[in-house]
Amino acid sequence: GLMDAAEKYGFAVCFPQGLRDPKGKSGWNVGYPPQEGMKTDDIDFVVKLTQALRRQNGFGDAFLTGMSNGGEMCYLMAYLKPDFFAAFAPIAGLSMEWSYKKHDAKKPVPLMEVHGTMDKTSKWEGDPFNEGGWGAYLAVPQAVGYWAAQARCTHEETIEMPLVRNKVILHKYKGGEPAWKDGPATEVRLYEVVGGKHTWALNDMDTCQEIWNFFSIYLR
């Protein structure tokens, strides 16, 4: 879907691949308990990869999106590299409790999250006691609300998206500080997919179009 949007709007897409963890599963090192002892610095890898692509191709602004484990990377990058990516779009992503307690936001960042309320892998209501084995993580509204608070958003607009399958309620947190001097306001969004499961929600809305609509606000 992102490739279709890229061809339509003229942006480039890169799909990097994470290494295998100690149990042999490939992915990004975001501090899950099964990743204990894993030394791979995926933050550094993604930054250096993006820098190389910029040098080789003359690209400008960079944005970050990813689903599930990739969504966790988005949240971690928002903490650690808020100036490197212009906006973030975690899909079915989680804000891990360890990173929430260890890191403070260095600056406001534009961020949108798409998440199903019946997601059994990345639970909407969070998992404070690590019952799922991924480590403790915040409830989705709380995780998104953190970034809305960091952006100093002043109000919420609630929009019901055109019905395709599951109802999608878009929560727009607006009135935030400028993303850069004289730039657009920093906005945070939560797409609540009512009854949605652990997916990109492609059967509920045009998720890739929504991602690009959001990212394009923050093109310099």
Residues 215 and 110: their CA atoms lie apart, in Å, by 9
pLDDT at 21 exceeding the cut of 90: no
pLDDT in tens, 98-115: 999 999 999 999 999 999
Relative to beta strand 168-174, strand 155-160 is antiparallel
Backbone angles phi, psi at 146, to 5 degrees: -60, -45
State percent of the chain over pLDDT 90: 94
State percent of the chain over pLDDT 70: 100
**Would you state the pLDDT for residue 118?**
98
pLDDT at 183 exceeding the cut of 90: yes
Q: Which of 28-37, 82-91, 193-202 has the lowest mean pLDDT?
A: 28-37
β-pair partners for 155: 174
What's the average model confidence in pLDDT over 198-219? 97
What's the average model confidence in pLDDT over 82-93? 97
Quick one: which of 97, 127, 82, 109 has its CA closest to 173?
109
Residue 33: both structure tokens together = 């308990």
pLDDT at 80 exceeding the cut of 90: yes
What's the average model confidence in pLDDT over 43-52? 97
SS3 for 20? strand
Residue 185: both structure tokens together = 């306001």
- Residues whose CB falls within 8 Å of the CB of residue 218, separated by 6 or more in sequence, listed in order: 61, 63, 86, 87, 110, 179, 183, 184
**Would you state the pLDDT for residue 37?**
86
Residues 91 and 200: their CA atoms lie apart, in Å, by 6
- DSSP assignment string, 156-190: EEEEEPPPSSS-EEEEEEE-PPBSSTT-PBP-EEE
Q: What does the mean pLDDT of the chain come to?
A: 96
pLDDT at 44 exceeding the cut of 90: yes
**Would you state the pLDDT for residue 25?**
85
Q: Which of 13-27, 82-96, 179-193 has the lowest mean pLDDT?
A: 13-27
pLDDT at 22 exceeding the cut of 90: no
pLDDT in tens, 147-181: 999 999 999 999 999 999 999 999 999 999 999 99
pLDDT at 62 exceeding the cut of 90: yes
Quick one: which of 77, 109, 73 has its CA closest to 94?
73
Residues 98 and 68: their CA atoms lie apart, in Å, by 17
Strand ranges of the sheet holding 111-116, from the earlier edge strand across to the other edge: 64-67, 88-91, 111-116, 188-193, 168-174, 155-160
